[in-house]
């Protein structure tokens, strides 16, 4: 992303309001340096869209993983409940045989 800076126009505005030329020149150069340094850290709309796309893709992947983990957890729970049911049924049948 390029920021346009009219250094000559800025210089002329400074000198028109009474800023000495040497001081105006230093201010223009300093502002140009700040703009150049800051510019490298600015994100363009395209940069933001790329990050947004990556985040959406990552969120979808996390959703898929969560859904898979939930399904696996449900399956393990059903298997454990089935095993407990079988054990308890065996215990109850054993108790009934002992009682009768």
Task: Name the pTM for this structure.
Answer: 0.53
More confident residue, 68 or 45: 68
Domain count, the chain: 2
67 and 51 fall within a common domain: yes
One domain, residues 67 and 96: yes
Residue listed under structure tokens 């340094």: 37
What distance in Å separates the CA atoms of residue 6 and residue 13, rounded to the nearest whole number?
11
pLDDT at residue 38, rounded to an integer: 87
Radius of gyration for the alpha carbons in the chain, expressed in angstroms and rounded: 36
Indicate the pLDDT class of residue 3, thresholds 50, 70 and 90. confident
Predicted confidence at residue 84, as pLDDT, reads 96
- The domain in which residue 65 lies consists of 44-100
Q: Are residues 54 and 99 in the same domain?
A: yes
Same domain for 71 and 25:
no
């Amino acid at each position: 992303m390029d920021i346009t800076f009219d250094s000559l126009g800025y210089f002329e505005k400074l000198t028109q309001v009474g800023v000495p030329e040497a001081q105006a020149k230093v201010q223009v150069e300093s502002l140009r340096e700040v703009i150049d340094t800051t510019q490298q850290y600015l994100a363009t709309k395209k940069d933001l869209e790329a990050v947004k796309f990556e985040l959406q893709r990552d969120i979808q992947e996390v959703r898929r993983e969560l859904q898979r983990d939930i399904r696996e957890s449900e399956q393990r729970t059903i298997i454990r409940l089935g095993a407990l049911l079988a054990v308890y049924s065996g215990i109850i049948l054993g108790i009934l045989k002992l009682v009768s």
